[in-house]
Structure 1
């Protein structure tokens, strides 16, 4: 499947797309209504290009039909339930049949293999277990590949360190921010993360930059690859980088069709142009999804890869449409600021972006943290003139690259909260203030 000739793959995609459309039209009332409202029928889809005629699905559709209204099979055929984090309300609920779990496990097994994993490896899973798809998704994929899964879940950092030191796993997975936290804690306990047996890491569930990759690879002495997924589409494994190039994520196109649209016009964009990522599932039974607007910003490329896989690749996620900050008319993603900050060796790779309003204008207060050695070298004096120059240089760099002004707050070592899951990079005081008065 991963090296299928493109023409044969397109035929397979079209056949599976038509089967999926018959499933949703026959079993999901919400989709039948959307198709009627869009004035499109299954007979209008004569080729893959016609997918643009189909209506979009959004998170609101899943919330409006909560909990099981989008399921295409009876509940007794659903063998597992997962859901989103639900941080902005109720979680979006997704279900899996036995066949769905089998397909997902195979896709994740392929993803782990692309990252360098192989049968017999010990695989340390530091993603959370539970409704979140990360832990169980990687767990079943690892077992499918013939690995020995170590189901650590997230948190309990000291015990994670003990297991890494004692069991000597070859591979690890988790969020990149937690992997930074884990390495930092190991160093505090007198261990060198580079001296572990780890050879590769599979990181995702949050956007992370090339600069973050370089730091993780240096701290751990590993090959770090990006994995993509979201619960509404399946979970982790929708796309993954290969160890050969680490340059774009191969999409499992035998199971998903990917599109990039302009989030304003909702029209397709040219290959290579950034826009909103849209996915249609091709093999899911319990919760087939049609043109799901992910909110993630990326681009697509069909440039051949040296690994031999023939699937198109998506770029690494730049950010989410709802994460984009508009500062005095300028659009800025947190990942752009991260890329610039992590170039400063004086700083640890932990930061927070505080959004505030001054008068009628929005502004950024960027909280950064000093390396221990520098902090002690400067006599633990945050008012030191060297730090004034550092703040000025960072402000200039961000202004030159992102076209926005920032205020800089320098924090003492360990002052910024560490993550045991997805990192909280942006604190929007404007939203918190409006919630107080709503």
Structure 2
């Protein structure tokens, strides 16, 4: 399971499998999804026009708005009797995106998550404490069945119950923790409050996802918990967690399981494909999904692709860690930056804890940005001097200076026990 032949296959073999599966995916969508048939007909494209992945750019993009406009099941390619499970996005910005799985889809999902776990260094027989939320969110159940598929033991605690999480890590001697990056740090804080040194616990690996994680944040996690931090990536519209994962041997990008998901990187403004190594928006096409085949889904996530063979021996494409989204771009008085860029600069300072919030306001048609960050509990220096140094660093690195920069006491910024952490509050 940890190194199936396809993961180390020659690129030519991977490409042949992708071609075959793409043809079947296009045929399935054209014959069974009214939306895609209408889109292809409007573009003058027949299923037979798509023979290899080189033809994928002929296909239309799919966006989150398409999922919402076809709500609830307009993108399904199978009858309800063939659906074995339904998940959905949170729907916080409108109608949720409904996704469906056949029996085979669930088997594929378990397989790719098991691959992710194996790439993370998880061994059969180890104990994995699953801190992702169960329910309509794909995180909890997606990881759950992958853990079982691998042959590891799952503790299905889900999100929240933080003191109990710490107790179970200690009492059940969990080897691996799965959760969001922000929650792993909150768990470490809670352990300290309970008088428990989390670095003394057996957990050696944290597999984190569902939120962007900058390199400084990863370093903070690894240091605070004395673990190896591994990034997992996925999204409900494509399958859930399990699209790609770092390997513990190299930790140099996330291996995309290309036999199931075909990746592209495009210019988020023009939609044009970008060459290998150039940052842009990740686009994914499903190659094996039965219930919900998806063409060229614009994920909104910013990354790069490389096709160089990894040190671990895997030959599948690798994507860089996602540190931002195309729609997260902040434009304040003509200056463009991403929250992740601000985070990376701020966390260069040892005196600053990995908690911050960005508030955006508009006054007299002018945008204002206020940045609030937490100091570390052991910081006893001059706060005004620290503030000036951070402002200077932001200006030098990002050509950006917040209208207001406040350094607050430890525990002042709200933590998130369940779900994704919110960093940006737009009051405009």
Q: Fold match, TM over 0.5?
A: yes
**1: distance between equivalents of 2:52 and 2:158?**
43
Alignment of 1:228-307 (within 5 A): 228-307=233-312
Structure 2 CA distance for aligned equivalents of residues 304 and 310 of structure 1: 5
The equivalent residue for 2:395 is 399
Name the TM-score, length of structure 1 as normaliser.
0.95
Distance 1:360 1:388 in 2: 30
Unaligned runs of 5+ in 2: 1-5
Q: Deviations over 1:57-107 (max 9, x none)?
A: 111111111111110010111010001111101210000001000000000
Cα deviations by residue, 1:271-317 (Å, 9 ceiling, x for unpaired) = 11111110000000110111111111111011221101000101111
- What are the residue-to-residue correspondences of 1:10-159 with 2, within 5 Å? 10-159=15-164
Q: Name the counterpart of 1:226.
A: 231
Considering only aligned residues, what root-mean-square deviation do their CA atoms show, in Å? 1.0
TM-score by length of 2: 0.97
Deviation by residue 1:239-287 (Cα, 9 ceiling, x = unmatched): 0000011111000000010001111111101111111110000000110
Q: What does the per-residue CA deviation read over 1:139-179, in whole Å, with 9 as the maximum and x for residues that have no partner?
A: 00000000000001000111111111100111111000000
| C-alpha contact (below 8 Å) 2:233/2:243 kept by paired residues | yes
Cα drift, residue 46 of structure 1: 3.2
Structure 1 regions of 5+ residues with no counterpart? Answer: 379-385, 431-438
* 1:411 is the counterpart of 2:408: yes
Residue 319 of structure 1 aligns to a residue whose secondary structure is coil
Cα distance in structure 2, aligned partners of 1:225 and 1:281: 24
Q: CA deviation at 1:397?
A: 0.7
Query: For 2:66 and 2:268, how far apart are their aligned partners in 1?
Result: 17
Q: Helix, strand or coil: the match of 2:164?
A: helix
Aligned length, in residue pairs:
421
* Alpha-carbon distance in 2 for matches of 1:348, 1:331: 24
